[in-house]
Structure 1
Amino acid sequence: MIFYDENNLEIIEKDLRYLQLLAHQYPTISSASTEIINLQAILNLPKGTEHFISDVHGENESFTHMLKNASGVIKRKIDDVFGNSLREEQKASLATLVYYPEQKLEIIKQKEKNLEDWYKITLYQLIELCKNVCSKYTRSKVRKALPDDFEYIIEELLHEQDDRVDKQAYYNGIIKTIIDIDRSAEFIVAIASVIQRLVVDRLHIIGDIYDRGPGADIIMDALMKHHSVDIQWGNHDILWMGAAAGCEACICNALRIALRYANLRTIEDGYGINLLPLATFAIEFYGDDPCEKFMPRTLDKNINENEMLLLAKMHKAISILQFKVEGDIIKRHPECQMDDRLLLDKIDIEKGEINLYGKTYKLNDISFPTVDWNDPYKLTERENDLLEKLTRSFINSEKLQRHIKFLYSKGSIYLVCNSNVLFHGCIPLNEDGSFKEVKIGSIKYSGKALLDRIDRVARDSYFFKDDIQCKKYGMDMMWYLWCGPYSPVFGKERMTTFERYFIDDKSTHYEKKDYYYKYVDDVEVCKNVLLEFNLNPETDHVINGHIPVKTKEGESPIKANGRLLVIDGGFCKAYQPETGIAGYTLIYNSYGLLLTSHEPFAAIKNAIKEDKDILSSTIILEHVTRRKRVEDTDIGKELREQIADLEKLLIAYRKGLIKEGSKDRII
């Protein structure tokens, strides 16, 4: 706590105008003193738990379950509270009840013979668990998390004193009354919600909510309901943000990826985007084309052969359209240095070959019915019409626009929070490990300044409505961020989409990573990154997603002696054969950092019916000898500043510079 010298009033007088405003909120010495005591008490509470998740990629069932079980935190709380007093199957059942109270109660009601006894036992268990979860928070914060219907009752039960016999009868009476008036189920749902809310103080999503999996919109709905969340944009999020702004190249890429994985649920059901114009176009121009290289990758066995063939035709149609509109952007922006991605004009259609980087490769497909080889990037009238319809669908999707606005309001390219810097991809580096200078417009940026500038450009692309030229530049840059050579969210030299479709020689498919990935295990380079964000290079961390950790090949997510952590372990089912697991998550609580690896998750219905949680393995990355408190966090810094201001206000009162209870207006 800071105590100002009352004989030195220079600081007080300098801030007098602000202190007069503060006096309206704390009009007396007593009220200001009380708030100082309250804030000082909060500083001494244990630090809240932070939960880090990355690269969800539309896997809504796995994500929903991970959110509900807080990567095993609730299970650990149950172990802490009940130890060996409950069997493992009883603990598993209690955990499922906390995760999915409504659904689990339906099963319990059908199979439990003495429901009243079960309610009594379970209510006491949930209250004990809730007491443990709430112990690190002030009563005020807990009160704000309580549902209106049961606020008073839950608060009374949470603060029961076991040594007060007279009070115990009072609490037992509350439990009995809840059961007698048939409100037990509603009470269980309410207290489970409180446990879920308070077990994690803040949720960090380190990019890539969208693409591949079926339910990105469901995930976004869940995030919008979360009490405390921030998002660091990934390249797939950037793609959808660009598409929602009306960037045609981003729209084509988003549709191509959806068709590649036969995942149209988010597009059609989630956002109501009309794909009939694309289907009609594809049948017209690719009706006789087998489109073999464009057959979707899917695990969905419910899609029949005819549906697969239609998806393949739509997939090829949007891909060719994508190459054309991307070509226009590349030509408009020579500063992006992406001429190597202009490939349609390198094709010799007569020979069925393409000249690529000085070598000639045979094409596996020479059907390009909409390409004019005299002007290969020119859109046909039908393509222009199709693009206009698709763009209108994206721009006019009310739900998509609502979700993207949320991404902007809660998101950013990076975040510095509680001794960690979070970003999805990388900081572009030179071969020697120094920060790469990247030209945006006419100015070069590097390191933190580059990420700051990109953040502003991303916002311009969406929010600039009046300045058409600025908005157009912003949309072009959103596409560049998706696949450009020095984009920090992409992190590769080029995206070899064309080569993967049309050239069988896999050497052309290689996508060289940014030098950042060469140095992820280099302690000194990682320390330089931490210093760039004004963090302590000896104790703080870089937390990344984006590049899946190949656990089955022995790769570790812990890099540079723990200075850098990569928590993309394959949430997306398409990545799991490559990674060997189903994702990493990170927990940062008052005791330190816990890294958890997860096995594939079957389905929520299995979790509810059979009490099957995600199988997870947790390792302790760091364990502190002194438990971290609120005073050690960013919020603690803010609270100390508030205390300092209140101390100055006290001096102003005592010196008569401000009168207690004064309502004088400040002109």
Structure 2
Amino acid sequence: MDPQALNDNDVSGQGIRDDDLITLRALSGRFPDIDSATAEIARLAAVLTLPKGTVHVISDVHGEDKKLRHVINNASGTLRPLVQGLFAGRMTPEEFREFLTLIFYPAEVVERLQHTLLDLESLRSYCTRTLRYEFELVRVLAARYSLKRAMHVFPPEYRELMAEMLHQPTTERDEAFAQAIVDALLSRGRALHLIHLTARLVRNLAISELIIGGDCWDRGPRGDRVVDYLRQQPNVSFIWGNHDVAWLGASFGHEALICHVLRLSLRYRRLGQLDEGYSIPLTPLEHLARTVYADDPAAGFMPKLSGMRPDLLVARMQKAAAVMQFKLEGQVIARNPEWEMEHRRLLHHIDLAEKTIEVDGVRYPLSDAYLPTLDPAAPYELSEDEQLCIDRLRRSFVASQKLGEHMLYLVSHGAMYLVRDGCLIFHGCAPVDRAGEFLTMNIEGVPLAGRALFDAIGKAILRAAGHRARKDLDLLWYLWGGERSPLFGKDRITTLERDFIADKATHHETMNPYFELIHEPWFCDRILREFNVDPKDALIVNGHVPVRIEKGENPIKRSGKAITIDGAFSEAYGDHGYTLVLEANRILLAEHSHFESVEAAIRDGVDIIPKVSVVRTWDRPHRIADTERGDQIRGEVRMLERLIAAYRNNELRQSGQRPWAPR
């Protein structure tokens, strides 16, 4: 930091308002005198000169917990070349493979070693050698951080010991120093435990911030385990996606979203996340399928994967959930006429006698006309059996402790958009018309567009989490699939048509013009300016729409100013995936391929070695001073300068042991 910049912040002699004194008084608890505040300013000035932290952005995980775990463990492929560069020529190929496997899967490797490395001298040799390698790697990674930030991710119970090990080897701290630590731990059975913790520390230091660009759930097997693993990471931020807000609404008891979550879980036979993960029994829905739909062939609802429950039963359960969903969605649309979605209420256009349905003024034959709960006189009312079913399911969703914890984590760490290192990151799109003009959406009766819309939606999601008012929960449903929702970005979601109409013309969903316009530089610049991002060298980053790699699509748009990082992470979508890696001197795009299994990774050293392409490079590596964190630090410095001025002017008294001394 420029010393003159610090002097420019000197506010001595200026009067301080009473409300400012309240803030400064709270700050004085951390910095009780001029010296402590001055020391912190000096520390922050030094921090601003450090290289910016490496940010990894992954989008649309869709329940693929094992693949996500490996991508995080290998830091999107960036750890392998670092280890190679450090230890080339010092490790045999077998030692290199084993060391990488330890870094990626420390718990599993240590458990295996506890059963195989039984000779004390062999164990002593392994621990000494491995800890030396691990801490050499830790020293390289920790040097990128301030000491305070690095120590924050050290395991608390071993923090002081690890700090000592960071300073080894030196002339005074030779092999005897390290060996004494290993021997002390070995004699108490904790040497392998420290190796485990240090391997995890390597991964935590390799990624400064992990940003999930939306959609943790659906299609993949275990959305619950995705969130479980993310909660173990030291610094995670979320961009909310439409699948996330659907699960959020379901957890708060919104009946239409409960049915939607159930239908998708049944379609892809991802039931483990419900019954095992969230302790939500499917018995009420199974009972409805076995009774009301007992004679239904449900041919159009067969699940995509096999499992323990009979396919036909799962198909009937999915259909039962779908019919309830369409009824309940009709009620939501009727409650919210300002959304202008009456054309998406389709059940009253069904003619059971003729076995047809009218969509957009055209009548089509039904591919499935078995609808035993549909009352033509009241098509959007649940039958008695359906009402009993959804009431029981709602109680289970609302009562699930783990689901509630996951949703609290998602809300507390989430936002509609983030800006990192000149990258504007959001999940779906900024809804616009064909001319690129922002489209408005009503929030609490106020038409909003652009950044104002994103900000208002963010507040509404937080409000829904706190108060769970019907209006806010209905908004979560609209965000899942409404035409002007920034999380959706299509004119409609044609689930009913796909389920009940064979004519594929009715299945078409038109993308918002945003997805074409981001190929145009002028449009990208307009979006960036709307969110107060300098368009020079900046990027718009969104997920939501899978890049069809197999069809030759490119994630980087023709404008060079926008990039889509939904690489079909889920096996159900294509089994690829991207990480956007924001390093100090460049931006990388890592393209991931299929991940076989954790077992293969541990047994055979199988790794996802991504295909890496460079998106941006910088003539000068970016420092923390160049980032959003740098702006925060400069704000902290200004507050500290004001605190010092308050001490000097005796508007606040120093509580440190030393009296105030003149400059």
Please give the TM-score of this superposition, normalised by the length of structure 2.
0.92
> Is 2:483 the partner of 1:485?
yes
| 1:635 counterpart residue number | 629
- Whether the 8 Å CA contact 1:213–1:572 is kept in 2: the answer is yes
Structure 1's 260 and 8: CA in aligned 2 closer, same or farther, altered over 3 A?
closer
1:499 aligned counterpart, secondary structure: helix
Residue in structure 1 matched with residue 351 of structure 2 by the alignment: 348
> Does structure 1 residue 221 correspond to structure 2 residue 225?
no
Give the CA deviation at 1:561. Answer: 3.8
Q: How many Å separate the matches in 1 of 2:188 and 2:319?
A: 62
Could you tell me how far 1:160 is from its partner in structure 2?
2.0
Mapping 1:313-392, distance limit 5 Å: 313-392=316-395
Q: Is 2:41–2:637's contact at 8 Å kept on the other side of the alignment?
A: yes
Show the counterpart of 1:280: 287
Which runs of 5 or more residues in structure 1 are unaligned? Answer: 466-470
> Identity of aligned pairs, percent?
36
Please tell me whether residue 238 in structure 1 is matched to residue 245 in structure 2: yes
| Structure 1 match to 2:470 | 472
1:393 is displaced (CA, Å) by 1.1
- Structure 2 counterpart of 1:158: 166
Q: Does structure 1 residue 415 correspond to structure 2 residue 418?
A: yes
Cα separation, 2, equivalents of 1:121 and 1:604: 25
What is the CA distance between 1:12 and its match in structure 2?
5.3
Contact 1:109 1:115 in 2 (8 A): no
Contact 1:77 1:133 survives alignment (8 Å): no
Inter-CA distance 382–200: structure 2 relative to 1 (3 Å threshold):
same
CA offset at residue 401 of structure 1? 1.2
Query: What displacement does 1:101 show?
Result: 1.5
- Tell me what 1:460 maps to: 463
Aligned positions of 1:40-119 closer than 5 A: 40-108=45-113, 114-119=122-127
Contact 1:495/1:511 (CA < 8 Å) preserved in 2? yes
Separation in 2 of the partners of 1:16 and 1:269?
Answer: 52
Separation of aligned partners in 1, 2:64 and 2:534: 35
Cα shift at 1:650: 3.9
1:502-523 CA distance string (max 9 Å, x none): 1111111111111111212111
1:135 Cα deviation (Å)? 1.2
1:153 Cα deviation after fit: 3.0
Residues 263-284 of structure 1 show CA distances to partners (whole Å, capped at 9, x for unaligned) of 1111111111121111111111
Correspondence for 2:523: 525
More moved, 493-502 vs 20-29: 20-29
Tell me how far apart the structure 1 counterparts of residues 388 and 22 of structure 2 sit (CA, whole Å).
60
Please give the per-residue CA displacement for 1:553-580, whole angstroms capped at 9, x wherever unaligned: 111111254322211101111101xxxx
CA spacing shift, 1:27–1:375, aligned 2, 3 Å = closer
How far the C-alpha of 1:169 sits from its partner, in A, is 3.9
TM-score, normalised with respect to structure 1 = 0.92
Match of 1:574, SS?
coil
Q: 1:550 maps to which residue? A: 548
SS in 1 for 2:611: strand
The 1:657/1:408 distance shift into structure 2, 3 A limit, reads closer
- The whole-number CA distance in structure 2 between the counterparts of 1:571 and 1:311 is 25
Q: CA deviation at 1:397?
A: 1.1
Question: 1:566 corresponds to which letter in structure 2?
Answer: T
Q: Aligned equivalents of 2:156 and 2:654: distance in 1?
A: 36
Q: Distance in 1 between matches of 2:570 and 2:9?
A: 61
Q: Distance in 1 between matches of 2:465 and 2:156?
A: 38
Find the counterpart in structure 1 of residue 153 from structure 2.
145
AA in 1 matched with 2:566: D
Structure 1 residue 170 and structure 2 residue 177: aligned? yes
Mapped to 1, the partners of 2:339 and 2:466 lie a distance apart of 23
CA deviations 1:536-558 (Å, max 9, x no partner) are 11122221111000111111111
Q: Distance in 2 between matches of 1:656 and 1:280?
A: 74
Structure 2: gaps of 5 or more residues: 658-663
- Alignment check: 8 A CA contact 1:58 1:209 kept: yes
- What is the rounded CA distance, in whole Å, between the counterparts of 2:251 and 2:414 in structure 1? 16
Q: Is the 8 A contact 1:104 1:609 kept in 2?
A: no
Shift of residue 174, structure 1, vs aligned partner: 3.4
Alpha-carbon contact 1:51-1:204 (below 8 Å) kept: yes
Equivalent pair of 1:244/1:404 in contact (CA under 8 Å): yes
Q: Which residue of 2 aligns with 1:468?
A: none
Distance 1:243 1:166, change over 3 A: closer
When structure 1 is superposed on structure 2, of 357-366 and 401-410 the one drifting more is 357-366
Contact kept in structure 2, 1:107 and 1:609, CA below 8 Å: no
Aligned residues of 2:581 and 2:587 also touching (Cα < 8 A): yes
Structure 1 residue 28: Cα displacement: 3.1
Q: Aligned partners of 1:496 and 1:582: how far apart in 2?
A: 26
The 3 A distance-change label for structure 1 pair 505 and 36 is same
Measure the CA separation in 1 of the matches of 2:645 and 2:350.
79
1:227, distance to aligned residue in structure 2 (A): 1.6
Residue type matched to 2:493 in 1? M
Rounded Cα–Cα distance in structure 2 between residues aligned with 1:528 and 1:19: 39
CA drift of 1:120 comes to: 2.9
Counterpart CA distance in 2 for 1:333 and 1:16 is: 46
From 213, 216, 221, give the equivalent of 1:206: 213
Query: 1:41 and 1:500 mapped to 2: Cα distance?
Result: 59
* Paired AA for residue 100 in structure 1: Y
**Residues in 1 aligned to 2:92 and 2:530: alpha-carbon distance in whole angstroms:** 50
CA contact (8 A) 1:483 1:495 kept: yes
Moved more, 280-289 or 349-358: 349-358
Residue 516 (str. 1) matches residue 524 (str. 2): no
Residues of 2 paired with 1:129 and 1:613: CA distance? 19
- Map of 2:660 onto structure 1: none
Letter in 2 for 1:601: F
Question: 1:438-478: per-residue Cα shift (whole Å, max 9, x none)?
Answer: 2334321100111112222223333225xxxxx11112111
Contact 1:268–1:275 (Cα < 8 Å) also in 2: yes
